[in-house]
Amino acid sequence: MFQTSRNDKAQEFFLKQASELQNQVEWKDWFVLPFLPTPDSNPAFATYFSRQWADTFIVSLHNFLSVLFQCMHILLVSEEYLPLLILNFDAECQRSALVQEENDILRQKLFALQAETYRMKKEELQQQQEEESVVHHRLPAYVSNMDRLGDCELDMTRSQRSTAHSLQSRGGFLSSLLSQGKKGPSRPALTTGVSPTQAGGILLGKKEPSNHQSTKGKEVATGCKDVKSHFTGLTASEPSSVPPRQRRLQDHGKERKELLSKVTPQGQCVEKKTETGATEAETSPELHTEQSETLTKASAFSTEAGGVRQEQPFIVLSQEEYGEHHSSIMHCRVDCSGRRVASLDVDGVIKVWSFNPMMQTKASSISKSPLLSLEWATKRDRLLLLGSGVGTVRLYDTEAKKNLCEINIDEDMPRILSLACSPSGASFVCSAAAPSLVTQLDLAAADPGGSGMNQVPGKLLLWDTKTMKQQLQFSLEPEPIATNCTAFNHNGNLLVTGAADGIIRLFDMQQHECALSWTAHDGEVYSVEFSYDENTVYSIGEDGKFIQWNIHKSGSKVSEYVLPMDATGPFVLSGYSGYKQVQVPRGRLFAFDSEGNYMLTCSSTGGIIYKLNSDEKILESCLSLGGHRAPVVTVDWCTAMDCGTCLTASMDGKIKLTTLLAQKP
């Protein structure tokens, strides 16, 4: 550097290395080097400018590198070993694929075992209840005068039940997942004598005069003997595999249940029953099948007007409850990986928890200022974006359990109504709005059918996630209005928003301008989402309508449905002494399955799954998840392979996590 007169480079070197070299004694004299006019003539540095020192330095460096490379294990790949390495790589890929397939098979087996365990627990609970009912059950006093008739009917029903149980036990585990309506009748039709329905009516009916009772009792007893011999033969040919004591308890409980469910009218006489016995015997298995309880909600069959039963698309494997919140839930969202859930209630309590393999709280935080919105970051899924009611957005680290930063949006528009992070993770959209015009008391006293009560000014802003600085402000035409909901498409090129003026706006995120806008609802837009193919968007509004829109043609409706009020809000929770709590929708009001064929919505008792893409003018309800005692205010649906996890959060602070198994056609 000095030989080429580049003193600036020498000064730059010492400036960068000064902090490390200034405390070393051997470097102390070298800091004067840039300030010497002729360093090669200085006695302290003249040696380093000689030719001999330069040659010695090169030889020493060469020897040092030679020893270093000799000690290193360098893999030299020749042409003859290259195919072997490629084969090893292919083998590793195949091994990885096999391990992945094995994991999928084991996961399916696990879900099947969970369903079997759920079924067995339910059967054990039913048996316990039946045992208790058997202990406390006492037959009426008049039955003691009908010993012959009672023994005949009980023996007939016991043999009949043991035969049906032995036939059903052959079905295995798969038949247990099907609904009771899919299976055949649980008992064969009677051809002679009296049906069990008639027997139930005789045993539980009112006592008749003694002469009438003795006459009709003999007739019925004669028929019972024939029936008993018929079913005794069936039982002997096909014995049951259930232990005798357990079978007797099951039979006794089922007999009692059947007798109680088929009580005959008081005015009907025994003689009339005997004449119509054959007809009732043919229809009784059908009635018993329809009245029996199913193993799970998903394995039930829905009976339509024409009497045709259709198989349900989902099987409920389990339903768990997360009860760490003590006030109404506002938001409940699953992260991108599907491993953790973030939930926020009206008291500003944030909970981050996992549900696989077990439900466990990972982080908990309480905000001093009210929180209105919540969103997971996409790239770093450990981060949460939290929008407050005082004009700030907070970045919260769920693993470190602390706030990384907090930014001020706008003091004049303090309510952060919605947050949406782009799929790339580079930016996020923030919706800020002016203070609300409607108080909680006004909302409770307002007419549920009213609309347009809370149209206040607002801004839609784009922020950089890394620098946490504002990039731009979107133009909202015809006037700035509060934006209630936002959603990106899969690659972040499109952004759809729903505002308080009932207008849906579609933004081009490459040009950062509004591409389409149309009036969608009479009142506020509460929730918007892209469809599975992203050619349409769905929206729910204050008018109670669920509408599908074509994004290639502004304002073009694809379908329109009217939802119940408990699915669209405002949500009302009533109590004693005129207590009434009203909550405006904040979180997601609907969510789709992995293929976009089914939709999960809110209701007063739990989530309801509807089938989409049908030609009917009314949404077809496929499954009611239930489990809630208060109105559900927000939902989410996390999908993984054939299994999906539905989240439903209610106003009493309870969150239900329902695991579903999709039945492929």
**Average pLDDT of the segment spanning 646-652:** 95
Model confidence at 221: pLDDT above 80: no
Domains of the chain as residue ranges with CATH: 2-60 (no CATH), 314-435+455-662 (2.130.10.10)
When comparing pLDDT for 312 and 299, which is higher? 312
- The pairing of strands 383-388 and 415-421 is unpaired
Q: How many residues does the chain have?
A: 665
User: For residues 112 and 661, what is the distance between their CA atoms, to the nearest angstrom?
Assistant: 9
Q: What is the pTM (predicted TM-score) of this model?
A: 0.56
Residue 4: the pLDDT is 56
User: For residues 74 and 70, what is the distance between their CA atoms, to the nearest angstrom?
Assistant: 9
Q: What does R_g of the chain's alpha carbons equal in angstroms? A: 38
Residue 152: the pLDDT is 44
Residue 486 phi/psi, 5-degree rounding, is: -140, 150
Helix (H, G, I), strand (E, B) or coil at 418: strand
Model confidence at 99: pLDDT above 70: yes
User: For residues 268 and 251, what is the distance between their CA atoms, to the nearest angstrom?
Assistant: 27
The string of pLDDT tens digits covering residues 224-274 is 344 344 434 433 334 444 555 566 666 656 665 665 554 444 434 333 433
Among candidates 546, 527, 540, 525, which has minimal Cα distance to 618?
546
Model confidence at 664: pLDDT above 50: yes
Model confidence at 473: pLDDT above 60: yes
**Average pLDDT of the segment spanning 292-311:** 41
Residue 215: the pLDDT is 43
**Average pLDDT of the segment spanning 19-23:** 76
List beta partners, residue 393. 387, 407
| All residues at 6 or more sequence positions from 20 whose CB lies less than 8 Å from its CB, including other chains | none
Model confidence at 658: pLDDT above 70: yes
Contact between residue 398 and residue 390 where contact means Cβ atoms under 8 Å apart:
no
User: For residues 28 and 46, what is the distance between their CA atoms, to the nearest angstrom?
Assistant: 17
Burial track 193-208 (b if 16+ CB lie within 10 A, e otherwise) = bbbbbbbbbbbebeeb
User: For residues 481 and 517, what is the distance between their CA atoms, to the nearest angstrom?
Assistant: 13
Model confidence at 3: pLDDT above 90: no
Q: Which amino acid is at 553?
A: K
Q: Is 270 exposed, middle or buried (0-12, 13-18, 19+ CB in 10 A)?
A: buried
Question: What is the secondary structure of 308-367 as a DSSP string?
Answer: -EE--SEEEEEEEEE----S-EEEEEE-TTSSEEEEEETT-EEEEEE-SSS-EEEEEEE-
Query: Which tokens go with 71?
Result: 């000690």
Residue 592: the pLDDT is 93
**Average pLDDT of the segment spanning 199-227:** 40
Model confidence at 625: pLDDT above 80: yes
The string of pLDDT tens digits covering residues 562-602 is 999 899 988 998 877 777 889 999 999 999 998 888 999 99
| Tokens 């007169």, located at residue | 5
Model confidence at 278: pLDDT above 50: no
Residue 210: the pLDDT is 41
When comparing pLDDT for 407 and 229, which is higher? 407
When comparing pLDDT for 251 and 634, which is higher? 634
- Name, of 38-52, 156-170, 189-203, 511-525, the range with top average pLDDT: 511-525
Query: Which tokens go with 400?
Result: 């470190």
How many CB atoms sit inside 10 A of residue 349's CB?
A: 19
**Average pLDDT of the segment spanning 371-398:** 91
Residue 111 phi/psi, 5-degree rounding, is: -65, -40
DSSP-H helix ranges across 381-505? 440-445
Model confidence at 557: pLDDT above 50: yes
User: For residues 487 and 423, what is the distance between their CA atoms, to the nearest angstrom?
Assistant: 10
Residue 177: the pLDDT is 35
**Average pLDDT of the segment spanning 541-554:** 92
pLDDT classification of 6: cutoffs 50, 70, 90: low
Query: Which tokens go with 442?
Result: 């006004």
When comparing pLDDT for 216 and 458, which is higher? 458
List beta partners, residue 623. 609
List beta partners, residue 638. 645
Residue 211: the pLDDT is 43
Model confidence at 213: pLDDT above 50: no
Residue 389: the pLDDT is 93
Contact between residue 398 and residue 340 where contact means Cβ atoms under 8 Å apart:
yes
Model confidence at 458: pLDDT above 90: yes
Among candidates 179, 197, 305, 188, which has minimal Cα distance to 235?
188
- Name, of 270-284, 411-425, 614-628, the range with top average pLDDT: 411-425
Q: Taking all residues of the chain, what is their mean pLDDT, rounded to a whole number?
A: 75
Contact between residue 406 and residue 450 where contact means Cβ atoms under 8 Å apart:
no
**Average pLDDT of the segment spanning 353-374:** 91
Residue 117 to residues 222, 224, 658, Cα–Cα distance (Å) = 45, 40, 16
User: For residues 336 and 355, what is the distance between their CA atoms, to the nearest angstrom?
Assistant: 14
Residue 245: the pLDDT is 55
| All residues at 6 or more sequence positions from 101 whose CB lies less than 8 Å from its CB, including other chains | none
User: For residues 639 and 353, what is the distance between their CA atoms, to the nearest angstrom?
Assistant: 17
Among candidates 359, 362, 327, which has minimal Cα distance to 645?
359
Contact between residue 415 and residue 433 where contact means Cβ atoms under 8 Å apart:
yes
Contact between residue 495 and residue 509 where contact means Cβ atoms under 8 Å apart:
yes
**Average pLDDT of the segment spanning 504-528:** 94
Strands annotated E in 513-570? 513-519, 525-530, 536-541, 545-550, 556-562
When comparing pLDDT for 641 and 548, which is higher? 548
pLDDT classification of 386: cutoffs 50, 70, 90: very high
**Lowest-pLDDT range, 84-93, 347-356, 453-462?**
84-93
Contact between residue 342 and residue 362 where contact means Cβ atoms under 8 Å apart:
no
The string of pLDDT tens digits covering residues 320-349 is 999 999 999 999 999 888 889 999 999 999
**Average pLDDT of the segment spanning 49-74:** 83
**Lowest-pLDDT range, 23-37, 213-227, 301-315?**
213-227
**Average pLDDT of the segment spanning 273-284:** 39
Residue 470: the pLDDT is 93
List beta partners, residue 366. 349
Residue 193: the pLDDT is 40
Report percent pLDDT > 70 for the chain.
66
